[in-house]
Structure 1
């Protein structure tokens, strides 16, 4: 019966091509607008580590007091060096790493005809790579012993490896960075989670992959300052000048991540945070009640407002536009179907049940939906190139026409059109054959 209903639908399309084309265009535009904005929203709001996000946590400590109303929930976006090191030394998590963004100048060697160039990286601990499931093309991350010895080692991206070493296995080679020699221990294989969850507090949520990673302890030895936010406002400003004064200050600039595999570990770490803040209060450092939080990965992304507000607004607007398209399609389908009341009456008189009529027009609506979906795919592909007009370039680049989005686009178009055809099909099924035969 389906093939018969499809033949009836094609015959109906040939009889009223203009009206059919108008419905296809309306659905195609509505679906394309919604799918394009959804692609952007999905890219920026997805879970960057779905297999481990529930085990990764960010501890926060209020070191500025209730008068610091500029931060979210009176909590800074990072930790002081003092607090980060105290929590690192506690080793209360299965793994833990302090991390902050850095930048440096790489000096090509081995006869390469290149000038020194700037590169962006991170200072982190050895646990960083295992915690975040960082894949390696060659080698591996450094060891905790390298952290303790403050070793000159480095892990580089595959892109930097291609630029400096023509993509070969460069483990053991020497890289010159800011006048220091570093031994390459690993080449990271195309790892660039979006959003970059471990550095959203510095505004580096979206963008290209980092070029390199250095041991945190070595970066501190070399006085490599943060390339991110350094909140030293008010009383947080260093009392004494210089690097050591900055480290001992109340400036917040270090991110800390811990891996806690189960609920008991989370509760234990929360008690550790509360006890630590209470201890600092007893020592006179904090003059207010302790205020600490422990965010899981997705909670941290929400706390930092990683999803740009314009993406949420765009999704709502596009959804409303699709609803308007549906309403218009309902009206057009109703007009198209009711013009065929005589045909429906004849079919009913020849023995077709209301269910048969209902199925016939739903198949016709689905066929329009398929055509609208195909048009929507084409317009969605075009819309991907126009996302930069509405969103920041780093966000717009994330929108891609994947196989999943292709299937979703067609499914939305067909489902929406079938939904729009429910009422017109019901009206057609209610046609009284006796009335139509008399009118004929």
Structure 2
């Protein structure tokens, strides 16, 4: 029977091509607007490490006390601790090592000096980290791997570079064991990463904002980066009235926060134990006179910390709601168009009912026609979605627009959404068509 209903639908649509095109365009436009916005929202709100995000946590210690203003995600009645750590607290947590894996992190911006006459210096972006950073975040490697724990304490001149930098400096291939000039100092390449640019850059959203860029190009031991005076590319936040001394020496002695920190905790007891450890640490600082306020710490998992930092911009939520509202308006308009079209065929419906067609058959016939309209709207929606995704950088910041992409999942969702939307829009008109009284229509005709 479906083939018969499909044939009737095609005949009906051909009889009024203008109205058919208008309904398809209405559905296509509404679905495309929703899919374009959804592609951006999906990009900014996706889990960059879904297989492990529930085990990654960000500790926050209140080392400022009443001097601290509320954080980015705080309620007005709650005093939040800073979203990064100062040097003293970060190093204490590293020494105590109460997590399965852990690392302090800060952003650096050194310059690579390629070997060879006439080759220009290459400004790069990266991070000073500890050796446990790489297994904790499952950083993928093309060649080699991360450095050893002994290199952290020794301040060894080790470096992990990106695949893109490896091709730019060494022409690709296995460059482990070779030297690279970073700020005029030789570093030995320990590993070459596979292309790796998680969005958002969840391990240091305070410094990076979460999005944008081509990903980290270099990783060096944190203590080596500090000792060599490597340019700090991250944020430095201090309590009111505090100014750090010059250079890293001044930062190390201050209570300004500039180090991101992440730990891996594998189960609920480990999480509870680490929370207790943070509170005990704060109480110990009270006893030595460093803190004179009760413990006020936080231990948020990665997704909760991203929400706290508002990594997904509020305007993307609003844009998605507006797009869904536009789709609803398009559906209401389509309902009116279908209702007018279906009821205009009351005479045809009356004849079919008089010849024995059931209300269910009439209902199925018009729902099939609505689905055909949806399929056509889906085709238009695909075209409009592709154009919209390619042009989204005209209305959104590049760091967000770059996350919108066309993939098979988006295309299938666009077609499915168009068909479902049109069937929903056709449900009431089909119901009204099925309720047409054949006797009245035959008498009128």
TM-score scaled by structure 1?
Answer: 0.97
Task: Give the conservation status (yes or no) of the 8 Å contact 2:34–2:327.
Answer: yes
How many residues end up aligned between the 2 structures? 438
1:66 and 1:349 mapped to 2: Cα distance? 83
Task: Provide the aligned C-alpha RMSD in A.
Answer: 1.2
Q: Structure 2 matches for 1:191-206, cutoff 5 A? A: 191-206=196-211
Range that drifts further, 197-206 or 83-92 = 197-206
Q: What per-residue deviation string (whole Å, max 9, x for no partner) do you get for residues 178-237 of structure 1?
A: 011001111110111100001111134112111110011211221335211101242443
1:233 and 1:226 mapped to 2: Cα distance? 19
Equivalent residue for 1:429, pick from 430, 434, 439: 434
- Equivalent residue, structure 1, for 2:48: 48
Please state how far the C-alpha of 1:70 moved relative to its aligned partner: 4.5
Tell me the SS of whatever aligns to 1:327.
Answer: helix
- Equivalent residue, structure 1, for 2:77: none
Equivalent residue for 1:234, pick from 234, 240, 254: 240
Please state how far the C-alpha of 1:242 moved relative to its aligned partner: 4.8
Task: Give the conservation status (yes or no) of the 8 Å contact 2:64–2:239.
Answer: no
Task: Give the conservation status (yes or no) of the 8 Å contact 1:342–1:437.
Answer: yes
Task: Give the conservation status (yes or no) of the 8 Å contact 1:226–1:253.
Answer: no
Q: Go from structure 1 to structure 2 and tell me whether the alpha carbon gap of 1:374 and 1:242 turns closer, same or farther (over 3 Å shift).
A: closer
- Equivalent residue, structure 1, for 2:68: 68
1:45 and 1:112 mapped to 2: Cα distance? 45
> Is residue 394 of structure 1 aligned with residue 399 of structure 2?
yes
Task: Give the conservation status (yes or no) of the 8 Å contact 1:64–1:236.
Answer: no
Q: Which ranges in structure 2 are unaligned for 5 or more consecutive residues?
A: 75-79
- Equivalent residue, structure 1, for 2:322: 317
Tell me the SS of whatever aligns to 2:159.
Answer: strand
Equivalent residue for 2:88, pick from 82, 107, 111: 82
Q: Structure 2 matches for 1:2-401, cutoff 5 A? A: 2-72=2-72, 73=74, 74-109=80-115, 111=116, 113-207=118-212, 208-238=214-244, 241-401=246-406
Tell me the SS of whatever aligns to 2:215.
Answer: coil
1:122 and 1:343 mapped to 2: Cα distance? 73
Task: Give the conservation status (yes or no) of the 8 Å contact 2:201–2:208.
Answer: no
Q: Go from structure 1 to structure 2 and tell me whether the alpha carbon gap of 1:242 and 1:321 turns closer, same or farther (over 3 Å shift).
A: closer
2:18 and 2:171 mapped to 1: Cα distance? 58
Q: Which ranges in structure 1 are unaligned for 5 or more consecutive residues?
A: none
Task: Give the conservation status (yes or no) of the 8 Å contact 1:369–1:417.
Answer: yes
Task: Give the conservation status (yes or no) of the 8 Å contact 1:310–1:391.
Answer: no
- Equivalent residue, structure 1, for 2:444: 439
Tell me the SS of whatever aligns to 1:376.
Answer: helix
Q: Go from structure 1 to structure 2 and tell me whether the alpha carbon gap of 1:204 and 1:112 turns closer, same or farther (over 3 Å shift).
A: farther
Task: Give the conservation status (yes or no) of the 8 Å contact 2:68–2:239.
Answer: no
1:376 and 1:209 mapped to 2: Cα distance? 33
Task: Give the conservation status (yes or no) of the 8 Å contact 1:192–1:210.
Answer: yes
1:318 and 1:264 mapped to 2: Cα distance? 43
2:117 and 2:56 mapped to 1: Cα distance? 41
1:246 and 1:115 mapped to 2: Cα distance? 32
Please state how far the C-alpha of 1:12 moved relative to its aligned partner: 0.5
Q: Go from structure 1 to structure 2 and tell me whether the alpha carbon gap of 1:313 and 1:116 turns closer, same or farther (over 3 Å shift).
A: same
Range that drifts further, 144-153 or 88-97 = 144-153
